[in-house]
Amino acid sequence: MKDSRSLRISLAVVIGFVLTSALARAEERLKAYYPTEVGAKWVLRHYAGKLHWDETRTVTAVEMEKNGSKVVTVQQRSVRKEGIVLEGQEPKDLVLESSSKVRVSTTGFQVVATNDTDDKKWKQLESSVLFPYPLKDGDKWDHKIPESKYEVVYRVGKPERVKVPGGTFDAVPVYVEGTQGGKKLPKRTFWYAPGIGGIKSTIDDEVWMELVSFTLPKK
């Protein structure tokens, strides 16, 4: 009896260890291309011609789903000068705020809802693109929105070192090309760094966004 009881206890310990290890690996996969910790913060710099402005993104909530996925709520806030200024007046700060929900799973991440803070209502996105995990060189996938005749192809390139104001990172490029209404869309490229997410993007080889800083909450 004692031997049988000891065996059951040993098996329970082993199973518990295996499950804990599996959960830990799944947790690390969830964090691989999109942070899932409340308080994680990005500062991103956007460019438009000679203008530039900074945007702060902060994880404000994380909800666990039954299938193990996490829905991460991200608040976005940017401040920039008004584009049209009357003679004799100083340009005013234009504050833009919004939120988005990102579903992060072991298979990838996807923006599933947005919230314009003017009306406080969440808008579900049924046709947003899923960025698969892991991002591997040569992988391709299509994204189509029939009602707007939008068709693009995403293609993953080889990992490379990318320097931005926030540092130098090993990142994976994702190239996006396609058409809308039969017209060719500008070529876009996004770079993703493990544990951080997007660190840089370009439109027709012109820089559109770069990471200025990324911080995780203190434990």
pLDDT tens-digit profile, the chain (219 residues): 444 544 343 434 333 333 333 334 444 555 556 888 999 999 999 998 878 889 999 999 999 999 888 999 999 998 876 554 445 556 667 788 889 999 998 888 889 998 876 666 888 887 678 888 888 999 999 988 888 888 999 999 999 999 999 999 999 999 999 999 889 999 999 999 988 999 999 999 899 999 999 999 887
DSSP secondary structure letters along 33-50: SS--STT-EEEEEEEETT
Q: Which CATH number fits domain 32-215: 3.30.70, 2.40.360, 1.10.238, 1.10.3470?
A: 2.40.360
DSSP secondary structure letters along 137-203: TT-EEEEEEGGGTEEEEEEE---EEEEETTEEEEEEEEEEEEEETTEEPPPEEEEEETTTEEEEEEE
C-alpha–C-alpha distance, residues 71 and 104, integer Å: 6
- For residue 114, the tally of other CB atoms under 10 A from its CB is 16
CB of 37 closer than 8 Å to CB of 217: yes
pLDDT for residue 63: 94
pLDDT for residue 50: 79
C-alpha–C-alpha distance, residues 62 and 94, integer Å: 29
Domain boundary assignment for the chain: 32-215
Q: Is the peptide bond before 146 cis (omega within 30 degrees of 0)?
A: no
Q: Which residues of 27-45 are buried (b: 16+ CB within 10 A; e: fewer)?
A: eebbbbbbbbeeebbbbbb
pLDDT for residue 56: 95
pLDDT for residue 25: 47
- Which residues, in sequence order, are CB contacts of 89 under 8 Å at separation 6+? none
pLDDT for residue 152: 92
pLDDT for residue 33: 66
Q: Of 182, 176, 184, 180, nearest to 203 (Cα)? A: 176
Tell me the backbone φ, ψ of residue 204, rounded to 5 degrees.
Answer: 50, 45
Tokens of 17: 């260890």
pLDDT for residue 67: 87
pLDDT for residue 193: 92
